[in-house]
Amino acid sequence: MIRIAQLSCGSEYSGIQQEIERAAQTVGAKIVYPEVSLDDILNVENTFGVSVASGDLNLAMARAVRIVQNPDLADAVIVMTCFRCAEAAIIRSEIRKYIHQHSKIPVLSYSFTERTTAETLLTRMEALVTTVKFRGLLARERQKGLTAGIDSGSTTTKSVVMRDNEVIGTGWVPTNEVLKSAEDALEAALKTAGVAKEDISAIGVTGYGRFLVGKHINAKLIQEEITVNSKGAVFLADAQKGPATVIDIGGMDNKAISVQDGIPGGFTMGGICAGASGRFLELTAKRLGVDITELGKLALKGDYRNVAMNSYCIVFGTQSLVNSLALGCKPEDVAMAACHSVAEQVYEQQLQEVEVKEPVIMVGGTSLIEGLPKAMEELLHVKVRVPKYAQYIGAVGAALLVSGLLED
Amino acid sequence: MAKVIVYPPTSMILSDLVERMGHKALVVPQAVRNLVTANEIDSPPLNVTPEEPKKGLRYAAVDVPSGVRGRMSLIGPIIEEAEAAIIVGDPGWLTGCAGCSRTNELVRLLIRTKGIPVLDLSYPTNDPEARAFVQKIKTFLEGLK
């Protein structure tokens, strides 16, 4: 059983401890609490570098030190503190960095409220466990044989067919009925690849609908999107060796993943509001009267500085959108402002939680909205790579990983 | 007999002194005991459920972290019940701790603004100070009806 060390402050008083343990149990892991002595806590300033006023945060830091000194105590670490606590936010980030720098143990950090449920934590925990349990599989660099991948996303369902390390067919449909959409996407991919379903050796499934779809089509691999997408990203961007940062701005949530040699080390997943997701760009395109596929090109002609826009909340973001148009702002400036605002939300809310190391790879359908990678480049001051098939990243990752299971 | 809240609110040393002087000590362990014995254990280890941070809204606004509000759902009612208080400054981890500094600050504020008799003390660092510490507590408690 995978042991996840919980370093936290406030979870038991927020009434969510049981949810954390339930999520861990669901993915075949158990939560452990490394033992520390009073001296370890009193000396945390010397060992960790700082002590703070809150006792539970000092305890969390002392536990981090203990794990680094004895990596056998845990297979993975989850650092959790209360949402909106400044003291905890600083320490949470420092603990994540400390473990990342001093050990090879994967770390997940998360800020919770009393509304956090096991379901909220499930995908994150699953990814954490996968990075430990299937390290060998995740280290796979080449796809072999004839396999397919399906990414059952919240907005669209994507599928690819791969043969001997090449994508030979793709399918992309809006997600309506989850099963029907998956079947349609796979059928489209098979058609463009010119192969029959019976010839496919194995199918891997990822995305929100993965359990339902995976069971229905008898998939050999059913995997959360964090590990699968990061694998697909480094494969397509030819960055399987060394560090990389994967940014996936999805239709409903966002992922920022710090990758080393193709294996996720730390990641964040979330988004306070759909204002920081592809949904806001969809809404912007609709309001501007352009197709979503044209929004990026339009944005490239604009300047975000000409429009005041903040999509921290999708409602307020929409309000600024409507206001700016009413003030006579140019559509191209509004389009770029929307891209910049989404990129800024991801930068502020998520990229602070992972080590941003080059190459920075943007994936998912939103990466094809050209204004978005450009806005991210401006914020990060680094070149952003958008690989070919970026929108099929989950499906590619699934097809690649499932081929590893065939050999085993 | 007076109901006396102590700070840190988990201090067993202070609560023992209060009880020895014939008063009722109001401390967090008692509030936790009430929680874990009064209901079925839905949410181990403390049986604090997501309802507790909502109850904590009585003492802190919704933008205060859930961990503070959850703690306040336990400590707030005993502050309301208190008729006197003993506050020890800089007590160190061994004396007792709510685990969260923001909670500690709010607890001290609510005690001080309640308008009850408060004994403020510094944590003793040597034997003579410790003797004076106990003596001050004794005198304070004897003065309570």
- What confidence tier does A277 reach under pLDDT thresholds 50, 70, 90? confident
Question: Average pLDDT for residues A268-285, to the nearest whole number?
Answer: 78
Read off the pLDDT band of B85 (50, 70, 90): very high
Answer yes or no: do A114 and B71 touch at CB < 8 A. Answer: no
B52/A113 CB distance under 8 A = no
Full-model pTM: 0.81
Q: Judge: A114–B70 Cβ closer than 8 Å, yes or no.
A: yes
Q: Are A233 and A244 in contact (CB under 8 A)?
A: yes
pLDDT exceeds 90 at position A244: yes
Task: Please list every residue in chain A whose beta carbon sits closer than 8 Å to the beta carbon of residue B94.
Answer: 38
Residue with the bigger pLDDT between B130 and B92: it is B130
- Token readout for A394 is 């989950």
In angstroms, the CA A63 to CA A58 distance is 9
Mapping DSSP to helix (H, G, I), strand (E, B) and coil, where does residue B65 land?
Answer: coil
- Strand pairing partners for A206? A151
Question: Is it the case that residue A291 has pLDDT exceeding 80?
Answer: yes
Which of B69, B100, B104 to mutate: most A Cβ within 10 Å? B100
Identify the band that residue A163 occupies on the pLDDT scale cut at 50, 70 and 90: very high
pLDDT band with cut points at 50, 70 and 90 for residue A391: very high
Helices (H) and strands (E) in chain A, counts: 16, 14
Total beta-carbon pairs less than 8 A apart between chain A and chain B? 101
Model confidence at B35: pLDDT above 90: no
* CA angle (A59, A9, B109) in 5-degree steps: 100
Chain B residues whose beta carbon lies within 8 Å of the beta carbon of residue A87: 101-102
Three-class DSSP category at A343: helix
C-alpha separations of B65 from A95, A294, B103 in Å: 19, 42, 10
Mutant choice from B28, B42, B54, B66 vs A, greatest count of A C-beta within 10 A: B66
The predicted structure's pLDDT at residue A275: 67
> To 10 degrees, the CA torsion angle through B14, B19, B20, B21?
100
Of A12, A15, A87, the CB nearest to B51: A15
Helix (H) or strand (E) holding A168: strand A166-174
Q: d(Cα A363, Cα A388) in Å, to the nearest integer?
A: 9
Distance between B57 CA and the closest CA of chain A, angstroms: 12
The residue-averaged pLDDT of A208-227 equals: 92
Contact: A41, B93; criterion CB under 8 Å: yes
Q: Among A165, A166, A148, which residue's Cα sits nearest to residue A157?
A: A148
Report residue A113 as tokens. Answer: 């409220």
In A, which residues are within 8 Å of B53 by CB distance? Answer: 13-15, 113-114
Amino acid in the structure at residue B103: T
B66 vs chain A: nearest CA distance in angstroms? 5
**Which element (helix H / strand E) includes A348?**
helix A331-349
Residue A271 pLDDT: 58
> Lowest-pLDDT range, A356-365, B24-33, B34-43, B125-134?
B34-43
H-type alpha helices, A103-140: 118-133, 135-138
Q: Name which of A10, A15, A58 is nearest B49 (Cβ-Cβ).
A: A15
Inspect the interface and report whether the beta carbons of B102 and A42 lie closer than 8 Å: no
Q: Which of A223-232, A352-361, B96-105 has the lowest mean pLDDT?
A: A352-361
The minimal CB distance from A83 to the residues B42, B65, B104 is found for B65
Give me the residue label for tokens 């920022």: A256
In this structure, the dihedral spanned by the alpha carbons of residues A64, A69, A73 and A77, taken in order and rounded to 10 degrees, is 30
Are A158 and A395 in contact by the 8 Å Cβ rule? The answer is: yes
Smallest Cβ–Cβ distance between A9 and the set B46, B51, B100 belongs to: B100
B94-129: pLDDT as tens digits? 788 889 999 999 999 999 999 999 999 999 999 999
**Residue corresponding to tokens 């959360």:** A224
* Mean of pLDDT over chain A: 91
Task: Read off the tokens for B125.
Answer: 């660092």
Cβ A248 vs Cβ A393: under 8 Å: yes
Number of structural domains (chain B) is 1
The mean pLDDT of chain B is 92
| Angstrom distance (rounded) from CA A356 to CA A358 | 7
List residues of B whose CB lies inside 8 A of any A CB. Answer: 42-46, 48-54, 63-71, 74, 93-94, 97-102, 104
Q: Per-residue confidence at A407, pLDDT binned at 50, 70, 90?
A: low
Per this entry, what is the length of chain B? 145
Confidence check: pLDDT of A276 > 80 = no
For residue A88, the distance in angstroms to the closest alpha carbon of chain B comes to 10
- Enumerate domains of chain A plus CATH numbers: 2-133 (3.40.50.11900), 146-226+393-407 (3.30.420.40)
CATH of residue B64's domain is: 3.40.50
pLDDT at A272: 57
For residues A68 and A327, give the distance between their C-alpha atoms in angstroms, rounded to a whole number. 56
Does the structure show a pLDDT above 90 at A351? no
Question: Does A408 have pLDDT greater than 60?
Answer: no
* Angle at B24 (CA atoms; ends B18, B27), nearest 5 degrees: 80
Interface touch B100/A17, C-beta < 8 Å? no
Cα angle A118, A95, A26 (rounded to 5 degrees) comes to 20
Residues of A in contact with B52 (CB under 8 A): 13, 15, 114
Average of per-residue pLDDT across A35-51 = 95
Is the backbone peptide bond immediately before A387 cis, with ω within 30 degrees of 0?
A: no
Contact list in B for residue A41 (CB cut-off 8 A) is 93
Say which DSSP state A214 is in: H
Search chain B and give the residue with CA nearest A85: B65
Share of chain A above pLDDT 90, in %: 66
- Contact between A163 and A145 (Cβ < 8 Å): yes
Contact A13 B48 (CB under 8 A): yes
Distance from the Cα of A81 to chain B's closest Cα (Å) equals: 8
Predicted local distance difference test score (pLDDT) of residue A135:
80
- The domain in which residue B11 lies consists of 3-142
> Can you tell me the distance from the alpha carbon of A291 to that of A26, in angstroms, rounded to the nearest whole number?
41
* Cα dihedral across residues A215, A220, A224, A230: positive or negative: negative
User: What are residue B113's DSSP bridge partners?
Assistant: none
Q: Give the pLDDT mean for A117-122.
A: 87
In this prediction, residue B34 has a pLDDT band, given cuts at 50, 70 and 90, of: confident
Contact indicator for B28, B97 with CB cutoff of 8 Å: no
Mutant choice from A6, A14, A20, A272 vs B, greatest count of B C-beta within 10 A: A14
- When pLDDT is averaged across residues B48-59 and rounded to a whole number, the result is 94
pLDDT band with cut points at 50, 70 and 90 for residue A26: very high
Is the CA virtual torsion B37, B42, B48, B52 positive or negative?
negative
For residue A167, list its beta bridge partners: A162
| pLDDT reported for residue A274 | 66
- What pLDDT shows up at residue A372? 94
Question: Which residues on A lie below 8 Å from B98 (Cβ)?
Answer: 55
Q: By three-state DSSP, how is residue A245 classified?
A: strand
Euclidean distance between CA atoms A279 and A30, whole angstroms: 35
Check residue A383 and report its DSSP letter: P
**Which residues of A have a CB under 8 Å from any CB of B?**
9-18, 38, 41-42, 52-56, 58-59, 81-85, 87-88, 112-115
Confidence category of residue A273, pLDDT binned at 50, 70, 90: low
- Report which secondary-structure segment, H or E, holds A97: helix A86-102
A69-78, A275-284, B108-117, range with the lowest pLDDT: A275-284
Structure tokens at A25: 């149990």
